[in-house]
Amino acid sequence: MSVDLENLFLRSSNPGQHLTQYRINFPLLCNGAINLKPILIDGSYETDETRCEHWQCNNTYTRCDGFLLCEDGADEINCPDSYCPPFHHPCIFFNDTSVLSCLPINRAGDGIIDCVGASDEPKRCRMSDEYKVYERFNCFNDTQCIDTRYLCNGNQNCKFNDDETICKNHTGFWQTLCSFSSSTGIERDDFLCHLGRWYPKLARTNFLIRNMPIYPLLLQTTTTTTTTFTESVESQVNPMENNAMINIQNNNDPWLCNQGVPIQIGIDRNQFKRICLCPPSYYGDECQYENQRVSLTLQIQATSGRRNVFVFIIILVDNGGQIQSHDYIEYLPTVDCKTKFDVYLLYSMRPKNSSKAYSVQIHAFNKITMSYRASWIYPIQFPFLPVYRLSVQLIIPFSNAIPLKSFALKCNHGQCYNYVNNQSLTYCLCQPGWSGVECTKQYKCECAPTSICFDQSICVCPLNRYGPRCYFHHYSCHSETCMNGGQCIPGDERRRASRMNRPRCICTPEYFGNQCQNRRREKPTELHISFDKKIAIPASLFIHFITIDHLENPVQNSTVKKIGFDQNSLSMKTSVIFHIAFADISKTYYLLVLQSQAVISSNISTKIVPSHRCASIFELFNESISNQPLIKRIKYYHIPCQQRHDLVCFYDSTQICLCDLSHQANCFDFDHNVIGDCKKHNLCENDGHCFLDDMECPTSFLCACPDCYYGTVCQFSTKQLSLTLDAILGYRILPHLTFSQQPFVVKIAMITTIIIFCLGILSSFFSFLTFRTQKTRDVGCGLYLYASSITSMITLCVFLMKFSFLVAFQMKIIRKDIISHVQCRILDFLLRFLLSNFDWLNGCVAVERALNVSKGITFDKAKSKRIAKRMIFIVLFVTFLTHIHDVIHRQLVDDEEAERTLCITKYSSLLKIFDNIITIFHFSFPFFINFFSTVFLIIRATRIRSNAKKDETFKRLLREQFLHHKHVLISTTLLVLLASPRIIISFTSGCMKSARDAWFYLIGYFISFIPSMLFLIIFILPSKLYTAEFNKIRKELCKRHN
């Protein structure tokens, strides 16, 4: 293919020059027409028609399109509307130009012209000029190709006049017979016309599903009926609206009352007085004066709480806390998300006091739960303006604001909060009956009992009440107002002429309408996704839906769904009409659905299997190809499908490609970087990705958490080196279910806890009795073990309490109260403190024994006991001091969506580093002390014996010392072995990536308590002295029992 690319831009425009700037469109690649402007790469120009050696001319987009792309025309044979038999092309032979004949495919593209105009050798005219797309008629015995529109025009354009001799009596052939809207009905004439009709194929430039394997094979489609009720809220007339309360005078004078409403008030039967009802922006007898005011335009979005109703108290306040004016609006997320509210706030004095600073404060309350949600502040930045215009957009926080514990502002009878839009500013939310900047002014609350006293003159009414003091009842909602499970919301009585005055309905997802009276015609598609055993189930799953439209580029809709910790599959509903669906697990793609017809109201069961994984181009090509620019690299994309017949799909940085049944690639644009930031208001913590349920009117959101984080907003972390039971099992315990219905891991954990406690408490108790005797405490080692046995008993009791509290609390057997807060702060702290004590005391035992062997007969027992008593106190003090921060920063945190309350620590970055250092210190040092003390003891004892017995070999003496000190070796070795898994887990795992890893970390957690459970086996049974004392005590207990 010879193309003059350097002179491309110098050519005059013609009908065939459909060039785009740089967008690479897969269907237009290597189709015989240049559609992409040349790109200079490595000194040569590249287009969509260069380097097409590996491109198959007979493909999805060239098959039966009316244009012979293959040299032998293989892409145009056996087509549905073909005039000729199989494996033949239409042809007008030179010996009989009056009829349309057929030419076998083996004679096409052989370099010999058999048909008039060289229709069997399309390459001849294409080689002459790529851009003159209508010049497809090759003159007889000549290299010249002429425009097909010049056929039969009465003028000789070919040397031998063959462009006219084939026309019979037709003049103006193209104009009269070859318009796109007509046909001659004669195959020969239609064929000649068709020679110039190949370029409209460029209209088909978008992705098509053709010749594709269907997956899954069985698809159930369901239909739903629609039930319509003719009643509507609009048809319900409020009887009060039929009674005229006031005579409104027709305002024929546009200047009368200056945008106000003139009314007449009867003084007596014959005398009336006209007055003006002024809008907020004006005042005076005839509304002739303009008010100083703040004009507020407000738009609100809620990211959660589809069935919530919020009320926003809007106040204009000065820097002394004096409220100038106030108003309120009621907000229903499912209805008012696009509504812009206009509010006028007036100053209490005319003119306003210019010496004061003013601000607009907005306070949000949930009208259903009657709880405070959040506040915003907007200072009046230009107080000299008579009218200050303010436009704000509020994003309602996901959960209620949390009061600050430490703050500069002193709230005497209230709680301190941050403003949402300015975290550096704080304010006091006063208790009912108190007001002022610091809640120091007392007043009598005159609001109705079920309402909230926000200020002396402001009441927040519940859902069924209204009025300045919330004493009026709403009667607009009744049993028939909202149907099919819809929730009725009373209208705003202040807006009698507005739609907001009518009751409104919050419908369930299956229904819509003013009264939720209409069932949606198209039932959402139900998608049931299961996982192959070889694929780890993620905490959340990205799903990309691809909708195919032959007139448009494929449309990508991406969503994310969470997978419960106790679930092995995912079921979801979607209203998206789609053809293809991909599962995305950490940027690894799996084909879920591939259908030639759009998926609408279907029930699909599919499975994520390894064989449907989309490979990366870096797996399929070597670096010399995979690192090339896309315009060069994409020309090789048919090769993977041809070489690997099991390949379903693959992808690069901008495309996803499917392999069809002919083992050819079919690619489309794909956005791999779907941004989950909830329209730049990311509510997820710790770099979680936020996704809204609706981009226009969001009512809920979902967070896709990174590894090591979990929770509704990714607020919980498992990055601590010492994981707690809350982090490991908190989300595995199901609320509102009996213990028999709990997951298997919870049952096993309970059984293991009981076994550890029962065996451990017996072991520790007998050890405690053993080391109570004076004989076992004649040296410091006995004192350490005595303290360690006590520590072991307390540890096991606290461990059982912690597990029992966790299970009962998560199962909702006990409620959140002061006891829950106390156990959260104390129990986890005690477990960390006691386990560290136990490890350090055992380390002291190892050091004591090493010193005993090292000093031999010079070992001072009395001094050893004195040092032991001091060391026990020091160990207790140091471990307590290094863990006290855990008590201070541990708290109960609610996860409302998951119905969980977890006991977690919230550390600053510096404190988290400190905690990790402390954890490593308390893990590692006792471990290494035990290990090196044991090695030192054996080597030292062997050297002492070697000096005394010169004739004995060192190897034999070493064996003797192993046997002599086996009780020390056994106990120390067991401690080292039991501590090893904790050390390995802490340093190699980094974090628990998801709650599905519970088994691995649960085992590591339980291993921490095995030394306490095996105290008797580790320290008493290996020692002859301690075993003798233990047997003596056991016999005494048996005698007492008998």
Q: Are 736 and 811 in contact (CB under 8 A)?
A: yes
869: closest CA among 793, 787, 929?
Answer: 787
For the residues of 349-368, what is the DSSP string, one character each?
SSS--TTS-EEEEEEEEETT
Question: Long-range contacts: 881-890, Cβ < 8 Å, 24+?
Answer: 882/836, 882/918, 882/921, 882/922, 883/829, 883/832, 883/833, 883/836, 883/918, 884/829, 885/911, 885/914, 885/915, 886/828, 886/829, 886/832, 886/915, 887/825, 887/826, 887/829, 890/824, 890/825, 890/828, 890/829
Which CATH number applies to 289-400+429-512? 2.60.40.1110
3-state secondary structure of 1020: helix
Average pLDDT over residues 165-171: 67
* Separation of alpha carbons 761 and 280, rounded Å: 77
Asked if omega into 262 is within 30° of 0 (cis), the reply is: no
Q: Is the peptide bond before 254 cis (omega within 30 degrees of 0)?
A: no
Report residue 180's pLDDT band, with 50, 70 and 90 as the boundaries.
very low
Percent of the chain with pLDDT over 90: 21
Length of the chain: 1042
pLDDT of residue 532 exceeding 70: yes
Question: What residues pair up with 39 in beta bridges, in sequence order?
Answer: 46
Chain centre to alpha carbon of residue 629 = 32
Tokens 């198209």 sit on residue: 522
Q: Dig out the tokens for 120 from the structure.
A: 């069997």
203 pLDDT band, cuts 50/70/90, is very low
Q: pLDDT tens digits for 375-396? A: 999 999 988 898 999 999 898 8
Of 144-148, 360-364, 559-563, 718-722, least confident by mean pLDDT is: 718-722
pLDDT at 249: 54
> For the chain, what are the domain ranges?
23-31+49-205, 289-400+429-512, 525-704, 722-922+995-1041
* Helix 966-988 with 954-964: angle, nearest 10 deg: 90
pTM for the predicted model, two decimal places: 0.64
pLDDT digits (tens, 9 = 90+) for 228-274: 333 333 333 343 343 334 455 555 565 778 888 888 887 777 778 88
Cβ distance 668 to 273 under 8 Å? no
Q: How confident is the model at residue 280 (pLDDT cuts 50, 70, 90)?
A: confident
Q: Give the per-residue pLDDT at 591.
A: 96
Adjacent-strand bridge partners of 40: 45
Please give the pLDDT value at position 636: 93
Residue 132 pLDDT level (bands cut at 50, 70, 90): low
The most confident of the ranges 246-255, 353-362, 522-531 is 353-362
The predicted model gives 209-220 an average pLDDT of 80
Q: Contact, 828 vs 722, CB < 8 A? A: no
Query: Rg of the chain over CA atoms, in angstroms?
Result: 42
Measured between alpha carbons, how far is 835 from 879 in angstroms, rounded to an integer?
Answer: 10
Name the packing angle between helices 998-1007 and 966-988 (round to 10°).
150
Q: How buried is residue 78: exposed, middle or buried, by Cβ count under 10 Å (0-12/13-18/19+)?
A: middle
Q: Where are the alpha helices (DSSP H) in 636-712?
A: 638-643
**Closest residue by Cα to residue 220 from 608, 548, 525:** 525
CA angle 942-947-950, nearest 5°? 105
- CATH fold group of domain 722-922+995-1041: Rhopdopsin 7-helix transmembrane proteins (1.20.1070)
Q: Write the CB contacts of 687 (distance below 8 Å, at least 6 apart in sequence).
A: 706, 714
Q: What is the pLDDT of residue 200?
A: 39
Pairing of strands 615-616, 649-651: parallel
Q: Write down the mean pLDDT value for the chain.
A: 81
Gap between the Cα atoms of 1040 and 741, Å rounded: 44
Residue labelled with tokens 């006049």: 161
Task: Transcribe 196-246 into DSSP letters.
Answer: T--GGGGG--S----S---BSS--EE--------S--GGGPPPGGGGS--S
For residues 780-800, average pLDDT: 92
DSSP category for residue 474: P
Question: How are beta strands 552-562 and 649-651 bridged, if at all?
Answer: unpaired
User: Residue 15: is its pLDDT beyond 50?
Assistant: no
Residue 593 has pLDDT above 90, yes or no: yes
* Tokens 């709230």 found at: 411
Closest C-alpha to 604, from 648, 570, 647: 570
For the cut 80, the answer to whether the pLDDT of residue 625 exceeds it is yes
742, 810 contact by CB (below 8 A) = no
pLDDT tens, residue by residue, 1001-1033: 788 788 888 888 888 888 888 788 888 888 888
- 413-468 confidence digits (pLDDT tens): 899 999 999 888 998 999 988 988 888 889 988 899 889 998 888 999 998 888 88
Cα-based distances in Å from 888 to 150, 342, 904 = 92, 46, 11
Cα 923 to the center of its chain, rounded Å: 36
The predicted pLDDT at position 230 comes to 33
487 pLDDT above the threshold of 50? yes
Residue-wise pLDDT for 301-312, tens only, equals: 887 666 788 999
**H/E run at residue 599:** strand 588-599
- In eight-state DSSP terms, residue 528 is E
DSSP codes, 77-123: SS-TT-SSPTTEEEE-BTT-TTS-EEEEGGGTTSS---BTBTTT-HH
* Residue 348: Cβ within 10 Å count: 12
Please tell me the distance from the alpha carbon of residue 59 to that of residue 662, in angstroms, as a whole number: 9
